[in-house]
Structure 1
Amino acid sequence: MSGLLRRMCDWLLRLFWATEMDITMIGLQNAGKTSLLRVLAGGEFTIDSIPTVGFNMKKVQKGYVTLKYWDLGGQPRFRSMWERYCRGVNAIVFIVDSADLDSHPTARDELHALLEKPKLAGIPLLVLGNKSDLENKISVDELILSMNLEDIKEREVSCYSISAKQETNLDAVLQWLISKAKK
């Protein structure tokens, strides 16, 4: 009877307190967006990910929260779509290759141009420095400076160093995202 009662209680909790939230993952090509999404969804990291053409959508269940991720292509021809998929989401996740310093000026400019869009005002931003397992990666503090995150006002901004490959700091990322569902 205890197992049946627990299942019924879980069903009621999901029915009345379950939350679905929308999250858009953006960043330049080769930053690791699709690899990160695959790992968050419970899959395995693969080194030979095919670049995203347009977008992917994947739902991930974490407790009573369903995270609906939009993974958008990072090539220049897809960046104009970013704003459309960021409107009305619970959080914007901007992924940067923390080991590819040459890409940081472009990533910074694209991020700041996107955040200037009035329809995206106030949406929380999570910047992830991916590939922290590589030797030539920069620290979180260096990433904050490189991306001029201190200049972003009137929205919550957080920054973590992660490795999709080694699953480093992914629990902290999920906790941050789930906390946005409660607001």
Structure 2
Amino acid sequence: MGTTLGKPFAGFFQENEPRIVLFGLDGTGKSSIMHKLKTGETLTTNMPTIGFEMESVKYKDLTLSFWEISGQQRYKLIPLWKHYFLEVLGLVLVVDSTDRDRVEETKDFLKMVIDEIQGNVPDNVAVLVYGNKHEVPGAMSASEISNKLDLVSLRQRNWHVQSSCALCGDGLHEGLDWLLKQKNIGGM
């Protein structure tokens, strides 16, 4: 009976799609990055994501499942996070590289997420950090972001900071290529 009932819903659950979780503080550009990767177009709305958003994204010969977790309600969702992070290919932290005032909050948030998912995600999971809005004068460089977030202290030793721009797409594919190469997916 379970098989019969499951067939109509089979298309809703793409278990074979590698899962990538996007997270970060509100206003960093997570939705814009996801939209740019999915459609190639610039997102034209400023509506914050509430809860989470899931999109299947075609990239090269792959279909990837992107799970964006809201930055607005990040603390309310923490008890549920371990479910989002199961069987994840990689973690993508999006940082507003122009927001020097919140970089310490971002660092604390990243450490909290890593602590929360411990045991549910292998310590060798790849962590990609998009330093978004890098085109803005005065934006932090990739090495400055790495230092300010103290990435060398993470349990996850497999990390990379990629300068990016969600509006024009700079750095998005390079970061995704790095992430896929870490798991040798899609011939990367």
> Which interval holds the TM-score relative to the shorter structure?
0.7 to 0.9
Q: CA deviation at 1:87?
A: 2.6
> Are 1:72 and 2:73 matched, yes or no?
no
Aligned twin of 1:44: 41
Report if the CA contact (8 A) 2:126-2:179 is conserved: no
Native 8 Å contact 1:29 1:73 kept in 2: yes
Q: How does 1:49-128 map to 2 (within 5 A)?
A: 49-75=46-72, 76-80=74-78, 81-116=80-115, 117-122=118-123, 123-128=125-130
Aligned residues: 165
For residues 14-61 of structure 1, what are the alpha-carbon distances to aligned partners after superposition, in whole Å with 9 as ceiling and x for unaligned? xxxxx7310000000001000000000024213532100001111111
TM-score (norm 1): 0.82
> Which residue number corresponds to residue 5 of structure 2?
none
Gaps of 5+ in 2: 1-15
Mapped pair 1:130 → 2:132: yes
Give yes or no for contact 1:45–1:165 (8 Å, CA) kept in 2.
Answer: yes
Aligned residues of 1:94 and 1:125 also touching (Cα < 8 A)? yes
Which residue identity lines up with residue 120 of structure 2 in the other structure? K
Contact 2:36 2:43 in 1 (8 A): no
Name the residue aligned to 1:178.
180
Q: Distance in 2 between matches of 1:166 and 1:72?
A: 22
Q: CA deviation at 1:154?
A: 4.5
Please give the alpha-carbon distance, in whole angstroms, between the structure 2 residues aligned to 1:35 and 1:88: 24
1:78, distance to aligned residue in structure 2 (A): 4.3
Superposed displacement of residue 145, structure 1? 0.6
Identity of aligned residues (%): 28
Deviates more, 1:44-53 or 1:25-34: 44-53
The whole-number CA distance in structure 2 between the counterparts of 1:78 and 1:133 is: 32
2:4 maps to: none
For 1:56 and 1:46, locate their aligned partners in 2 and report how far apart those are by CA, in whole Å. Answer: 15
- What's 1:10 paired with? none
Is the 1:29–1:51 contact (alpha carbons within 8 Å) kept by the matching residues of 2?
yes
RMSD between aligned residues:
1.8
Contact 2:126 2:156 survives alignment (8 Å): no
Q: Normalising by structure 2, report the TM-score.
A: 0.80
Residue segments in structure 1 that go unaligned for 5+ positions in a row: 1-18
